Amino acid sequence: MKYENIKEGIFIERPNRFIAYVEIDGNPEKVHVKNTGRCKELLRKGVRVYLEKSSNPERKTAYDLVGVEKNGLMVNMDSAAPNKAAGEWLASGGLFPDVEVLRPECTYGNSRFDFYLETKENKMWLEVKGVTLEAEGVAMFPDAPSLRALKHVEELITARENGYEAGILFVVQMEGIRYFTPNRQAQPAFAQALERAEAAGVGLYAYGCHVTRDSMQISYEIPVILNPDKEQDGLETIAAPLLKWYDENRRVLPWREDPAPYRVWISEIMLQQTRVEAVKPYFQRFMESLPDIAALADVPEDRLLKLWEGLGYYNRARNLKKAAGVIMAEYAGVMPAETEELLKLPGIGSYTAGAVASIAYGEPVPAVDGNVLRVISRYRMDDRDMLNAKVRKSVEDDLQAVIPQDRPGDFNQALMELGATVCIPNGMPKCGECPWKDSCKAHIQSKETEFPKKAPKKIRTVEKKTILIIQDAVRTAIRKRPDKGLLAGMYEFPSAEGHLSREEVLALLKEKGMHPLRISRLPDSRHVFSHKEWEMIGYCIRVDELEPVGGVKEGLLFVEPARTEKEYPIPSAYAAYTDYLQIRIGNGKYEAENVDNQ
């Protein structure tokens, strides 16, 4: 559902259930509140609110208050919105794919229910309840005692006893919810009625919504836990079988066999966005060249980037050097053990801090990466967007409660290992090898590949480039990229935007004072970054003479291929063209050296 004319404001006060005062464009305005609930935890003085302008010029209040921001979370508080969103969702097959009849506002017995549905096999009465009360990722209803809600539950039990299907749909008007539970503190009788309803076969459904300033759409399923004190998320039982499986199946990895803080840190940074097998030789060379924090702090950037060449995401390497400098200056060269101190270092987030603290120092803190999020999402059939920061934080909190105090590092590594080798991201997971195969909800329901849920990926931008390999008899032209931005500080071949013809390339070089002798077309190449991709064509141009090394024309350096291979870090994006020069970059260079030395 969408709103037509939304205005931002700042909440001032709410003198009664129906009206509030809001500052709009610097002036106080009386507005209508489209929710008669208390909403005290939402409507606090100074919070940002969202208002829909009425199309009726005769109304006493020109705006309806429909949304509010709560700690960075957008919450829709329009009491009419849940029914509208539910109607759209039901009509699209959200609850049942074969709905043949969908009627709003129908009477059964002494109650008027929000929807009556018919499928080929069933007839169902459905009541919708909007939910805006949330605390620590838990949604609750009601926020105040409601005799009407209690009556609806009892009437649905009667409908079920009379042969109808019956259900209650709790529409949670926000994102990032871990589970829904009845608000026992506000109305114990309602919680008890829901327990009777579930026992009678009444369906209890909870779904969260994607909420923007001008729209709300049902988007993810939320677990319903009627009594959180008795029923947990099930994670309290995962540690023992997981650690037993890990002890029997763990891979032998160089950083795992000697988990010193520096080694753990370097390995975890390298493993971000990179496969284990690809990292192994880089890790070995890095440790040989820069064996400790002091060496890392002092290494020249070009040398560091050359060691990193081929791993990509080069800011990881730069942040390693920055963090090493901080450790030398502020921690006497010793990697801090506390998570709070680790988080202060450049390039270290909650995952890396948790990994170092738990694996190297035995601190009982979680380390949640993409592997862990995928495993937990499938285990609990968690419909939430695992890339959402609030969702990640809630998973960290849940794991914090169950992490073994005596083996926190092994527990975290076991979760990562399970995600990397069994509960894999692409293709069918190897559920027969999983220590949780009898308790994983997604596996039990054969829905492994449906989790985790992911928001649609943003479309990458495409850039067309013409790569120029400009050579004289012995040297090739390269240049250094800017110090900020994509591939910052790396070296590249000269290039031009767009795909140039042979004639356009020759004209361009002549404009720059070069005298081409020969030009030949090189193979096309394509390189994909996380947010963009390059479509490249290339030319090799032989010129009569290049400027001396250190020349300033176009910022070019003119160097022999052997020096390029050893001294100048060139990103793997240009691998197709470094191959043409018979130079090797990244891991390929070191593999070739090993062959030559045998």
- What is the structure's pLDDT at 583? 61
- What is the structure's pLDDT at 552? 47
Give the Cα separation of 182 and 225 in Å (integer).
8
Give the Cα separation of 100 and 89 in Å (integer).
14
| CATH number given to 6-76 | 2.40.50.580
Q: Which segments of the chain belong to CATH 1.10.340.30?
A: 235-445
Residue 555 or 232, more confident: 555
- What is the structure's pLDDT at 68? 97
* Cis status of the peptide bond prior to 548, with omega within 30 of 0: no
* Cis status of the peptide bond prior to 300, with omega within 30 of 0: no
pTM, 2 dp: 0.53
Is a pLDDT exceeding 90 seen at residue 512?
no
Residue 565 or 88, more confident: 88
pLDDT class of 9 with cuts at 50, 70, 90: very high
Lowest mean pLDDT among 71-80, 310-319, 432-441, 543-552: 543-552
CATH 3.40.1350.60 fits 80-230, yes or no: yes
Is a pLDDT exceeding 60 seen at residue 598?
no
Residue spans of alpha helices (H) in 383-427: 389-400, 408-421
- What is the structure's pLDDT at 511? 86
Lowest mean pLDDT among 46-60, 313-327, 475-489: 475-489
Is a pLDDT exceeding 50 seen at residue 5?
yes
Average pLDDT on 557-579 reads 85
Q: Which segments of the chain belong to CATH 3.90.79.10?
A: 461-594
Give the Cα separation of 135 and 148 in Å (integer).
24
Average pLDDT on 510-522 reads 89
Is a pLDDT exceeding 90 seen at residue 324?
yes
Lowest mean pLDDT among 215-219, 363-367, 442-446, 556-560: 556-560
Is a pLDDT exceeding 90 seen at residue 105?
yes
Is a pLDDT exceeding 90 seen at residue 108?
yes
Q: What is the pLDDT of residues 334-346, one digit of tens each?
A: 999 999 999 999 9
Average pLDDT on 268-290 reads 95
Query: Which residues lie across from 49 on neighbouring strands?
Result: 9, 68
The Cβ-side half-sphere exposure at 214, using a 13 Å CA radius, reads 8
Q: How far is CA 226 from the centre of its chain?
A: 29
We find that the CATH architecture of domain 235-445 is: Orthogonal Bundle (1.10)
Q: How far is CA 60 from CA 18, 28, 56, in A?
A: 12, 15, 9
Residue linked to tokens 């539950």: 153
Q: Which long-range contacts (CB under 8 A, 24 or more apart) does 430-437 make?
A: 433/249, 434/245, 435/241, 435/242, 435/244, 435/245, 436/238, 436/241, 436/242, 436/379
DSSP 58: T
Average pLDDT on 294-314 reads 93
Contact 33, 17 (CB under 8 A): yes
Exactly one of 134, 175, 268, 448 is catalytic; name it.
Answer: 268
Which pairing describes strands 532-543 and 27-33: parallel, antiparallel, or unpaired?
Answer: unpaired
Q: What is the pLDDT of residues 42-84, one digit of tens each?
A: 999 999 999 999 999 899 999 999 999 998 899 999 999 999 9
Is a pLDDT exceeding 70 seen at residue 182?
yes
4 is catalytic: no
DSSP 433: G
Query: Which residues lie across from 65 on neighbouring strands?
Result: 33, 51
Q: Which segments of the chain belong to CATH 3.40.1350.60?
A: 80-230
Q: Which CATH number applies to 461-594: 3.40.50.2300, 3.30.1330.90, 3.90.79.10, 3.40.50.720?
A: 3.90.79.10
